[in-house]
Amino acid sequence: MWIKVAFFVVSNPRIVVKIIVAATLVFLFFLLLLIAPFALLISAPLSPPSMVDIYVQGTDRAEQLTADGYYGKLEIDPMDVLTISAVLRKQDFSSASVRRVQNLAGSFIEKTGYRDKKVGYDPVFDEEGNVIGQTPRYETFPVYRIRNIEEVASVLGFTEEEKRWAMEMRGGDRQFTNIVGVGSGAALDWWTQVRHIFPRGMEVSVTDVTTGRSFRMRRTGGRNHADSEPVTIMDAMTIRDIWGEWSWNRRPVIVEIDGQLIAASMNGMPHGFDTIPGNGITGHLCIHFRHSWTHVGNRECMEHQAMVLRASGYIFDQVSRTAEAYDFTPEHGPETIR
């Protein structure tokens, strides 16, 4: 019986084609099931760091509501809005929305009154219709001002303890250090030194050399370098504020590990795996040290190594000779090497 069936199938090309197509579709289906998790991991860099963006968008929308005021466009600092929100919600950002943040940002805008502004001139005619002069034309515009954090805290009824918390979270002078321009970190080797004193799960203070601003990072993975994530949404907001946007640009940083200042380089683009929920980004960032490697290609990245040397306070001769080939403050787009 099976021989007859096989002979019938073979003798009918259309049936053979249909069987091949069906088998191919089944194979592709199971192949898709196998590669789907890897495809999801690769696409992780495209995941939006929505929590931080919500505060930027909410602030922008609040500014747009009063952009036609007498003094022109207002500029509210999203970091100030985030700070007040953090105190109000005890840093619980799980249900933030653009409208809620927009309403909160509106607390920073105060209308102080109205003012007439000269916008042009109208002609003055005599009885015969001839122009004999001109008179100024005025329009009335609202006048606004931006409240500072302390004022907003008072408007929202913060206690003295909450006010102090807000000012401390915002950073004040303690947000900056004397590490500005060229760094003074130790250029320790990743393979023989840093990876042994910077284990996974460890939280460290990271300082951007150029601006002197600091934030907290936790190493959550990586073998060739330290894959790390901002500890809180405030840290994520600080990173975005320093880089100006989520960017692959490398910047020289100082990493403080057990009191020791170590030269490093860091990019500002969230990508890949994510382990800290509610910290403002989806993904992690890469921190490189002297002689660390990229994940792609298992080799040193010249730009990262140049940033490490800048953070350490000196540039080796071999780097200086090739400096013209590299933009040490790169404006590059996304790259496969990170």
Q: What is the pLDDT along the chain (338 residues), one digit of tens a residue?
A: 556 555 555 566 666 666 676 777 777 777 776 665 544 444 334 344 468 889 999 999 999 988 877 877 889 999 999 999 989 988 888 788 999 999 999 999 999 999 888 888 999 888 888 888 899 999 888 899 999 999 999 999 999 999 988 887 876 543 333 333 456 899 999 999 999 999 999 999 999 998 889 999 999 999 999 999 999 999 999 999 999 999 999 999 999 999 999 999 999 999 999 999 889 999 999 999 999 999 888 999 988 988 898 898 765 434 444 444 444 443 333 333 33
Q: Check if the beta carbon of residue 138 is closer than 8 Å to that of residue 121.
A: no
- Alpha carbon distance, N-terminus to C-terminus of the chain: 61
Q: Are residues 247 and 139 in the same domain?
A: no
For residue 228, the one-letter residue type is S
Q: Are residues 141 and 262 in the same domain?
A: no
Domain assignment of residue 148, yes or no: yes
Q: Are residues 134 and 72 in the same domain?
A: yes
70: burial class by Cβ within 10 Å (0-12, 13-18, 19+)? Answer: middle
- 135 contacts: CB under 8 Å, gap ≥ 6: 121, 122, 124
Q: Are residues 316 and 194 in the same domain?
A: yes
Domain count, the chain: 2
Domain assignment of residue 335, yes or no: no
Q: Are residues 166 and 196 in the same domain?
A: no
Using CA atoms, how far residue 98 sits from 104, 182, 307, in Å, is 10, 39, 36
In 3D space, the residue among 281, 266, 232 whose CA is nearest the CA of residue 338 turns out to be: 266
- 258 contacts: CB under 8 Å, gap ≥ 6: 197
Q: Are residues 278 and 232 in the same domain?
A: yes
Task: State the DSSP H helix or E strand holding residue 142, giving kind and residue range, or none if neither.
Answer: strand 131-146
Q: Are residues 279 and 197 in the same domain?
A: yes
Rounded to whole angstroms, the Cα distance separating 253 from 205 reads: 10
Q: What's the DSSP call for residue 191?
A: I
Q: In which domain, by residue range, is 69 found?
A: 50-170
For residue 48, the one-letter residue type is P
Domain assignment of residue 17, yes or no: no
Q: Check if the beta carbon of residue 290 is closer than 8 Å to that of residue 302.
A: no
Q: Are residues 233 and 117 in the same domain?
A: no
Q: For the whole model, what pTM was predicted? A: 0.71
